[in-house]
A and B are shown apart, each in its own frame.
Chain A
């Protein structure tokens, strides 16, 4: 009956790139052979709607079954049966072109599954998409006087935080929903955004954003700090909007802004639908597929999985919920089948609600889920990077709020520690900071999941599915076997152990065997990319990237080389005692620091300086060098890349490193009568200037920055790192560790040579006559 009824129909689907959307598209193409599909997809900055359909939908493993079934004809059939229209449900008129609009409104059925399913979206974006999205579809149809069957996908949880039965009925006008005017909610949400934006711009706030940017990036240069400040401002507004959403939703009895906006969306739809026939399908928590397109098929990391994986890895041992609570899970293929059945049945004059949920007919208790999971992981342990099985512990249950509080405290402690660490002069070389950043990120994730999940743990409603079941019972057995959506057939033990968990561990990419990884590690892959002959150039910072020294040390060395022993020690100690002050100045603004510091070179004879610098190579630079770094420079050359050194150090001092580089960009001081004047010739290469000089050099030499590699150690080098396609963080300071990790950059920890001499003070050795390198032939 279903295939016949939908045969030859044109069916539009919104939200087709989502989990349910993809399942729907696949199911319709495979099980309803004669229908046509119109997919409304939002183009992104990088990809057009067509490209997204190709990449994100048709290439998904959901289509493996169809690909093998259709073989070579797959592309051709998709081409014929699938039309793509480019649009956006959060814009008026859906942002459709005239032609696309024609196609869209000509459909017989429209399945509106586009939504922001994130539970912590900002208030206004939830409103725009979840509440107003369906309205916009309606408007479009009304305008074209089209009356296709509009099936809106909602959620069982619109019933809110209540206990007991929640049936397939509209909530508006019942005691279960506070009587709020959805239009007023829309206005309020938009107004809140404007208010918060204004509040974010008051001087005190802006100052604090600027301070935040500096804390995060250090002396990264003005443009980058400004960009970061603005980013922080926007993030603040967004956070406030999230908070506004959460508090508005809970104040009205919904667990979160998602259900709140969805509920109001239903109300609006019912109020406005006019001649357009509407059905509403409310699934509960959608999880991996029971049978179609393949048992266990899942898209993305869903709700329970992150928690399950955290548990398996031993990162979490407390679960937000109660043992006897019911977790209402429904496999995605059942939801898709139910929607298709509703579409095939056709609409009634008054909008109908169909709930697709398991809780009332085949409940799954938390303790069943968790005990089964625990048993399964005992048999299939997860291994850590060293190949040791991680211990799975007994779950403890905590009311979600208790756990949230506990995690919140830990996160706070972590943030405080991070602030302290950021101020310490330690680096990534002991991997402590990098581990720290990793743990922090993990924690954030878990905390996020617990917050989300906790809200659902609190819902103790039982979702009735009478209407859905009567639709099921009305189906002929052929349809029932093809489009199963009766949740009572689910054997939970089988579902958890045979269907769900095996895919979860694959999706989460956890190790399920003790074997060491066979393929190259992530770092090895990144290193391979960095050294690929297709790269054009490699740019290196000097201090703490190639050598563990700085301009102050090399100055002290050079300046003391010709002093007597006592004076030498005095001078060096004096210079070093100024270090904290210099360091503070350096942190504030590197350019300013260099200008200030290089004045000390005033009057230095150039000849002598050059000869001394040649000796400094052996006595200071090589001793403090990172051999792996010097090896890398040459590996780049061997790969045919150009190499460039970009440093705030003085050109004379780095001259001995010239054989490593095709080009050196360094600070230079004006010369007069064979002496240095102490005045810098140009703006020294620091912060954004450094990035600019590097890019200019690249362009002048016909090299593409996108094919460039840059190595640096500090967040103040961000402009340089961001200017190339392949940034590498070397012995990164804490701030950079976090940034590099977040952006997936290669991180290298290059140590000094073990056994290298450790001179107490950076002092030059006085030559008794003159250096010996001047042989007969020089």
Chain B
């Protein structure tokens, strides 16, 4: 059976209310006649024999690369780096694809007499993964074999001895990566390429790097010139990452890149109604949906959060390719696009989106207001190719409860960013100029990043920069059903209902505007023509 393509639905009088994600819950919104709803493609049929596919990829690399086995020699130093907790979203049902690939890589290495192996969670400035999370990613067998003697660990971008300065690109961008990686004879990087920005040279150049190098592209100017950062052809972020990656390649650092793509099968039963089109829902789906909503609206947010954070996606593998970074990434991108791209004709005055409970930075954590903004204006807004879905000067309406809540362990610098920085200014450029350095170099945040489970001190700034393209492009941002104080702090406007939000939007875009809603997740990327 071939999966059905996504579609753009024109709302008419018979269209049922649309299900909006709304944090740890949903809203049903009856959209005005004439609105459009963009639905994602249905999950592509997955590869059935995953282990054979992995074996095949390792033995038949693409681009200018010998098979993995040929790269391994006794006594060599091997480093296996893998994507961290931010991928995939939600976490996938065990066994995680990373673990399955790593097991095979280790088998080949063992057969080739390689013992000096390190496994590193390539988390850049993200928080360290806990034991449970690492176990989920690599599997118990790998964990128990390597963690106890210190061969499996989280990358530390603030370890003064752990980083090596490789040089500067011809554009003056410093390139700094893990010393262990530099000293290794081979780096095998295991990717999960959930969206089109993941992987490629970004894997090592960013994942195993730190603030000194990242600040060259994690900044307002770069983000504003990445239109969008999901579209490699037009992403300044991509360009800079590629320059850094090529310098790494040219420094004689050997990378064997493994990239995987997943299908859109995001929600397991009983949550699978979330990836159905409303008019196709069965009576059982409807009962589940209504019942779930009733329950979620009643229980404390804390409980709802732990229910949602428990969801494990039944993702299926759609492709795996290994070998030389750029050649691998080209195939990967094609496969990602195949699952995500949905053709949309023309822009819209108002773009609405229902923001779910999860983004890359709140796995097993709390989606704080900054992450809400980043998910909507950073990720969802940028999931376009060609032109942004919303016209310049248009309005973005996001639905999310946006509570004034933070995870004290994971997001300590976010708390201060929200209380101190955003209270002063919401202008990304001013924020960057005035506060970034202090937060990036703060001793306490550094300590928490290194020894606790905190995102780096500078991370909330990156989240805010992620929004800067959208903030420059749109005329107004309205949050439906959010905590008014928190929404106001970020410089957005609050509306209690979608109807109010649409009414408020007319102040900016005039009477009778066009409205397009993106029905995401499952993930879709608008191909705007």
Contacts and interface: CB of A to CB of B under 8 A. Distances in A.
Interface string A300-330: 0000000000000000000000000000000
Contact of B147 (A630, A758, A772): A772
B118 A771 contact: no
Contacts of A777: 156, 159, 161-162
Contacts of A756: 406-408
B164 interface: no
A431 to B, nearest CB: 17
Given A754-B403, A772-B131, A776-B118, A618 B453 contact: yes
A767 B131 CA distance: 8
Contacts of A754: 403-406
B415 interface: yes
Interface stretch (B443-451, B459-467, B499-507): B443-451
Given A617-B452, A776-B153, A753 B405 contact: yes
B128 interface: yes
Interface string A242-268: 000000000000000000000000000
Interface stretch (A11-19, A437-445, A619-627): A619-627
Contacts of B405: 753-755
B420 A659 contact: no
Interface in B404-459: 404-409, 412, 415-416, 419-420, 438, 442-444, 446-448, 450-453
B46 to A, nearest CB: 31
Contacts of B143: 769
A519 interface: no
A631 B444 CA distance: 10
Interface string B101-117: 00000000000000000
A467 interface: no
Nearest to A633: B444
B25 to A, nearest CB: 16
B408 A753 contact: yes
Contact of A625 (B148, B159, B408): B408
Interface centre among B144, B156, B442, B444, by most chain A C-beta atoms within 10 angstroms, is B444
Contacts of A772: 128-131, 134, 147, 152-154
A752 B406 CA distance: 10
Interface residues of A, number: 34
A743 interface: no
B419 A627 contact: yes
A346 interface: no
B147 A631 contact: no
Interface string A752-778: 111111100000000111111111110
Interface in B88-144: 118, 128-131, 134-135, 143-144
Interface in A614-666: 614, 617-619, 622-623, 625, 627-628, 630-631, 634, 638, 656, 659-660
A769 B406 contact: no
B144 A769 contact: yes
A769 B451 contact: no
Contacts of A619: 409
A775 B150 contact: yes
Interface residues of B, number: 48
Nearest to B79: A776
Contact of B408 (A622, A660, A773, A774): A622
A659 B444 contact: yes
Nearest to B179: A777
Contacts of B366: 755
A771 B453 CA distance: 12
B385 interface: no
B180 interface: yes
Contacts of B171: none
A197 B88 CA distance: 80
Interface centre among A627, A628, A634, A775, by most chain B C-beta atoms within 10 angstroms, is A775
Interface string B154-172: 1010010110000000000
Contacts of B147: 769-770, 772
Interface in B165-185: 180
B131 A771 contact: yes
B302 interface: yes
Nearest to A756: B408
A684 B180 CA distance: 45
Given A614-B451, A618-B409, A660 B404 contact: no
B131 A768 contact: yes
Contacts of B118: 776
A623 B409 contact: yes
B154 A631 contact: no
A617 B153 CA distance: 19
A769 B162 contact: no
A758 B302 CA distance: 9
Contacts of B131: 767-769, 771-772
Contacts of A768: 131, 135
A610 to B, nearest CB: 12
Contacts of A625: 408
A774 B443 contact: no
A634 B180 CA distance: 33
Contacts of A622: 408-409, 412, 448, 452
Contacts of B442: 634
A753 B153 contact: no
A528 to B, nearest CB: 16
B406 A755 contact: yes
A659 B450 CA distance: 12
A656 B453 CA distance: 13
Contacts of A769: 131, 143-144, 147-148
B416 A627 contact: yes
A623 B152 CA distance: 27
Nearest to B143: A769
Contacts of A755: 301-302, 366, 368, 403, 405-407
A775 B159 contact: yes
B153 A774 contact: yes
A618 B452 contact: yes
Interface in A720-778: 752-758, 767-777
Listed from nearest, the 6 A-B pairs whose CB atoms lie closest are: A755-B405, A775-B153, A659-B447, A753-B408, A618-B452, A627-B415
27 contacts: A614-B451, A618-B453, A619-B409, A622-B408, A625-B408, A627-B406, A631-B419, A634-B442, A659-B444, A659-B447, A660-B444, A753-B406, A754-B406, A755-B302, A755-B405, A756-B407, A767-B131, A769-B147, A772-B130, A772-B147, A772-B153, A773-B128, A773-B153, A773-B450, A775-B162, A776-B151, A777-B162
Interface of B: 118, 128-131, 134-135, 143-144, 147-148, 150-154, 156, 159, 161-162, 180, 301-302, 366, 368, 403-409, 412, 415-416, 419-420, 438, 442-444, 446-448, 450-453
